[in-house]
Amino acid sequence: MKIGQKLKMVRLSLGMNRKEFVKGVIDNSYLASVENGESDIRVTSLINILQKNNISVENFFEDFDSKYQRP
């Protein structure tokens, strides 16, 4: 799973549209391009979006591929 896909999954699970989800952080059209895999997102923007929506960074990344985790 890619970060954009996960952002979309989380956003939809919260019942939010793009504008609500990223208000004050990035433009909602930019989020669309991230969700569609057309653009990358800066770490600072990702963290700000997560904080704005009360999502911990640890929880966001907990189900990513385990081959990248430390033993």
CATH of span 3-59 = 1.10.260.40
In sequence order, the 6+-apart residues with CB closer than 8 A to the CB of 27 are none
Q: Tell me what pLDDT residue 49 has.
A: 98
The model's pTM: 0.86
Asked if residue 21 lies in contact with residue 59, where contact means CB atoms within 8 angstroms, the answer is no
How far is C-alpha 50 from the geometric centre of its chain's CA atoms?
7
Task: Read off the pLDDT of residues 6-48 as tens digits, 9 standing for 90 and up.
Answer: 999 999 999 999 999 999 999 999 999 999 999 999 999 999 9
Domain residues of the chain, as ranges?
Answer: 3-59
Give the DSSP per-residue string, 2-19. -HHHHHHHHHHHTT--HH
